[in-house]
Amino acid sequence: MFIPVQAAASYINEEFCAAWEVFCLSENMDCLPFSGGWAEQPEWITQAISTLKVERYKADEEEREIKRQEQEDVKKHGRR
13 — pLDDT class (breaks 50, 70, 90): confident
What is the arithmetic mean of pLDDT over 45-68? 92
Q: What band does 80 get if pLDDT is binned at 50, 70 and 90?
A: low
Rounded distance, CA 8 to CA 40, Å?
Answer: 32
Going from N- to C-terminal start, the domains of the chain cover: 5-77
CA separation for the pair 69, 65 (Å, rounded): 6
CB 32 within 8 A of CB 41: yes
**pTM exceeding 0.75:** no
* Contact (Cβ atoms closer than 8 angstroms) between residue 60 and residue 68: no
